Amino acid sequence: MKKVAVLFADGFEESESLTIVDILRRGGMECLMVGVTGREMMGVHDINVRADVELREISADDMDMVVIPGGYVGVDALMHDMAALQLISDMNEKGKFVTAICAGPRVLDRAGVLDGKKYTCYPGQEEKIKEGTFEEAIVLRDGNLITSRGPATCYAFAYALLDALGGDSLAVKNKMVYFNAFDEASSHRETCPDSVKVPEKNRKVAVLMKEGYEEGETFSIVDIMRRLGIECTTFCFDEDLWVKGMQGMMIQADEKFGESIEEYDAVVLPGGRPGGPNLIADPQVMDLLKRWNETPGKILSALCFGTRALAAAGVIEGKHMTGYTGYDQFLTGAIFETKVAVADQNLVSSQGPATGYPFAFKLAEVLGYDPSIVRSRLMYDYAGGILG
C-alpha cells in the first residue's frame, strides 16, 4: 500500500481536496489528510475538517506522494510554511511524486521543484509561476511531477495519481459512475454570463449527514451551493457535530437536525454506505420526506444511495428520476431514466459519487439560479468537453 500526504491549510478548496482523498482511499491507498495550519482546518467555503495527522508527524521518507490542493488562501499559507516547502523539496530530491492542482503549482514553484519541468494549473496562475513550462492540459505528468487545472478536473487528477501509484483507476471510475459525470451541455463554452442569476428570494438547502455518507459527493454539492450564494447547511443527528464519512474522513456538520430545517426550501440526501441505509432507518428523515412531499414549494433531492431513501419514504410514484447503476430495480413506481441528473415535479435526482457537480447544477436551476458562471469557474464544461 502506497502512502500519500494531502496537505491541508486553512482556506483549502473543499470539493477538490476531499474528492482527491476520497478517490485515493477508494483505490486502496493510505491517503493521509495532513494538517499544516493545525489539526482542524476551515476550507474556503466554511467546511471544517479534521486532519489525520499534523505535518510535524510525517517525513519525506514515510511518503510516496505529496498532493497540494488549490484554494488561494490555503495555497498562500503553504507558500509561507517552511516545513511544507521542505517536505516537497525533500520528496522531489528522493524522486517521489510531487503533485498539485488549481493554484497549487505555485507552492511547487516556491519549493523549487518546477525548474525544467512541464506543468499545468488554473487559468492565469501560470503568470505567477517563475519556473517550469506551462502547458494546457486536464492532467499533465512530467516524470515525478503531476499537475492539473481546477476543481472539476480533480477527478481526472486523482485517477491519474492512483494510476501513478500502481492502482486501478478504471475500477474506481466505474464504481463512481465517472463516465456519466458530465451532462449533455458539457462542452468548450466560449462565453458565460458576467454574474450569477439569482431568484428574488434567497433559497435555503439542507444537506443531511449520517455516519457513512459519501464525503466527495456530499461536499462538492455543499461547495457549489455556497459558491452560488445559496444558504446551504449541513445537518447531523447527534450532539457531536463531527461525522465520520464512508472513507473515514471527519467533517463537521453545521447544525443538529431539528425544527429549524422547516425553514429550508430543499433537502439533499447523499449516498454512501452505511450513510444511505442510516437515512432510511431514521424515522425523523422518513417523516420529513413524507411531509415535504405534500408541502407545496419543498424540493426533495438525492443521489446514489440517497435515491433509495426517497423510494423508502414513498415519494417517487409516477415521477421521472435517475439513480445509481442498477437502481431501477429499487426505485419501483418511478419512471427511471439513465440521464446524469433529472428534475421532475418536486424531485431532483442523480446517479453516483462522481455526479455531484451536475446534480448540484440541476438543483440550483430548480431553485431559480443560473449556475453557468460557476460551471465556468470550476472548469466543469472544460473538463466535460475533454472527457466527452
Residues 75-95 have pLDDT tens digits of: 999 999 999 999 999 999 999
β-pairing, 48-50 vs 40-42, is antiparallel
Helix count and strand count (H, E) for the chain = 13, 22
Q: How many CB atoms lie within 10 A of CB 263?
A: 10
Q: Judge contact between 99 and 146, C-beta under 8 A.
A: yes
State phi, psi for 309 to the nearest 5 degrees.
-70, -40
Which domains are present in the chain? 3-176 (3.40.50.880), 204-387 (3.40.50.880)
Question: Strand pairing partners for 286?
Answer: none
pLDDT of residue 380: 92
Helix (H, G, I), strand (E, B) or coil at 48: strand
Alpha helices (H) along the chain: 14-26, 72-79, 82-93, 105-110, 154-164, 169-176, 215-227, 275-280, 283-293, 306-312, 356-366, 372-378, 380-387
What's the pLDDT tens digit per position in 244-258?
999 999 999 999 999
Q: Counting beta carbons within 10 angstroms of the beta carbon of residue 349, is it exposed (0 to 12), middle (13 to 18) or buried (19 or more)?
A: buried
Q: Give the model's pLDDT for residue 202.
A: 87
| Residue 63 burial (CB count, 10 A) | 22
Which residues share a beta bridge with 68?
A: 100
pLDDT tens for the 388 residues of the chain, in order: 899 999 999 999 999 999 999 999 999 999 999 999 899 999 999 999 999 999 999 999 999 999 999 999 999 999 999 999 999 999 999 999 999 999 999 999 999 999 999 999 999 999 999 999 999 999 999 999 999 999 999 999 999 999 999 999 999 999 999 999 987 544 334 444 555 556 667 899 999 999 999 999 999 999 999 999 999 999 999 999 999 999 999 999 999 999 999 999 999 999 999 999 999 999 999 999 999 999 999 999 999 999 999 999 999 999 999 999 999 999 999 999 999 999 999 999 999 999 999 999 999 999 999 998 999 999 998 898 544 3
Instruction: State percent of the chain over pLDDT 90.
Output: 91
DSSP code at position 97: E
Q: What kind and span of H or E run contains 335?
A: strand 335-336
Could you list the active site residues?
102
